Amino acid sequence: MAAGSVTLGIDLGTTSVKVALVEAAPGDPSGFVVLASCARAARAEVAAQSAAAGPQGQEQDVRRIIQALNECLAALPRQQLRKVCSIGVSGQMHGVMFWKTGQGCEWTEGGAAPVFEPRAVSQLVTWQDGRCSSKFLASLPQPESHLSVATGFGCATIFWLLKNSPESLKSYDVAGTIHDYVVAMLCGLTRPLMSDQNAASWGYFNTRRQSWNLEILRAAGFPVHLLPDIAEPGSVAGRTSRAWFEIPKGTPVGVALGDLQASVYSCMAQRTDAVLNISTSVQLVASMPSGFQPAQTPDPTAPVAYFPYFDRTYLAVAASLNGGNVLATFVRMLVQWMADLGLEVEESTVYSCMIQAAAQQRDTCLTITPTVLGERHLPDQLASVTRISSSDLSLGHVTRALCRGIIQNLHSMLPFQQLREWGVERVIGSGSALSRNEVLKQEVQRAFPFPVSYGQDVDAAVGAALVMLQRNFNQQES
C-alpha cells in the first residue's frame, strides 16, 4: 500500500454510524494506521410505515442515519479530509430502502461544507424486520441460489410490500441497501450499484452466475426494475459528484460492501483465523479455501450459510440474530420493572451495574437460551430459562447466564470442533458488544479451544477503507 494515501472508511450499522481515516503504514506493505475515527448512535428506529407490518416491523429513518453520518464527518480533522484519495463504504446487510431517481437527496451548503440530505426516500426496512411469517415465506417461489430467503431479506420484504402495501412502492423506482444509497448519492448515480455481497444478502441472487433470479422473480410478479445493477466488491462505483466535507470532488468511491465482509477484511490476518463479531447480532466466520463452491440447493434449516467474500471466495458464517440486542432487551426490561416500581434509572447505569455484578459471579448453574428473536434457521424458536434455583437469582447470576447463553447458542449453530476441522487456529474478536463487555469476553475465552485476540471497535469502517487502499496499491503495482 502506498504510504501517504488516506482513505475514508464508512460503516452504516444498525445502531451506530462509524467513520475512520486510514493511511497506509510507511515501509509495511500490509500495515495501516488509523489517523482518526468517530462513531455516533443513529437512534433511527421508527414505527413501520405500513400498519399491516404490525409490531414485527423494524424500520429506521434514513434522515437520522445520514444526520449521524454528517456528524461523524464533521468531527474528523479537516486537514486530513482534504488528503482523502478514496472512500470505502459498508453497512448493515439484508435491509432495503427505496428512492426516486434524481430526487434521492438534496445537496446543501451545511455551514463550512456541502452535505446531502435525503429527500424522496422511504424508510429503511432492516434485517431485524419480522413481518414475513414462516407461512408467507413458504408461499414465495424457490430461489435459484445456495442461500435461503428469510424475513428481513430485501427481496422477501419487497414481496411482502407487493402483497400487503403495493401503493408504498409506487412512489419509487430504485431500491438498495442504506450503504448502496449513500454511494449512489455521493456519486450522483442514476441507478444504484450493488456488490454480490449485498445482493446475496437480499436473496434470489445466484453467486456463481453473478445475477438475480430474474425469470423466477418476473414469473411471480416481482418488480425487477427495482433491483440494482451488480458490480465487483472492491471496484469503484463512481466518483464524488461534489466536494463533501473537504473531500475533493472526483474522489473515487467503492461499491458498497457488506459490514460482515468489511469487518472480516479488517482483522482476518490469516486463513487459519476465525472472526467472532458480536455487535447488535453475532457472526462467527471462517474462510473457505479457494475454489470452494456451496451446494446450489438452499437449506432453510442449515445454521451455517456461505456468503460471498472477495475474488469469488466464500465465508462460512453462523449468523445469530441474538447478540448485543438481547442484552439491550434485558436492560430495557429491568428499567421498565423499576419504572413500574416507581424508580427511575438510566439504561447506561443498569448496564454497567449488571456487567459488574456478573464479573464478580464467575459461574452459575442457571441456563438461559437467549433466542428472543428466533434464528433464521429456527424462526419460531423463543427464549427460555432453565435450571432455576433460589441461589441463582441474583443480577450477577442472570447476567452471567445470559452472556454464556449467547456464546452457547452460537456453539450450537457452528460447533467449535468444525472450526478445528477447517484448520482454524485462532479467533479474532470484534464488535462493540464484545469490546465493551468483559463478561462476554470471559465466556468467549471459556468456550473456544483456541487463542482469542481482539480487534478495534470500528472494524467495518476500517475494513471498507482497507479494501480501497488495497485497490490503490494494486493499481500502482500494475
Please tell me the predicted confidence (pLDDT) of residue 68.
98
71-80, 108-117, 229-238: the lowest-pLDDT one = 108-117
Please tell me the predicted confidence (pLDDT) of residue 196.
97
Chain segment 319-345, per-residue pLDDT in tens: 999 999 999 999 999 999 999 999 999
State the average pLDDT over residues 104-114: 83
State the average pLDDT over residues 246-254: 96
In this model, does residue 384 exceed pLDDT 60?
Answer: yes
In this model, does residue 458 exceed pLDDT 80?
Answer: no
47-51, 136-140, 232-236, 323-327: the lowest-pLDDT one = 47-51
Please tell me the predicted confidence (pLDDT) of residue 268.
87
In this model, does residue 29 exceed pLDDT 60?
Answer: no
Please tell me the predicted confidence (pLDDT) of residue 176.
98
- Residue 122 · residue 170 · CB < 8 Å: no
109-113, 164-168, 419-423: the lowest-pLDDT one = 109-113
Name which residue leads in pLDDT, 181 or 109: 181
Q: Output the pTM of the full model.
A: 0.86
In this model, does residue 387 exceed pLDDT 80?
Answer: yes
Q: How many CB atoms lie within 10 A of CB 374?
A: 18
In this model, does residue 1 exceed pLDDT 50?
Answer: no
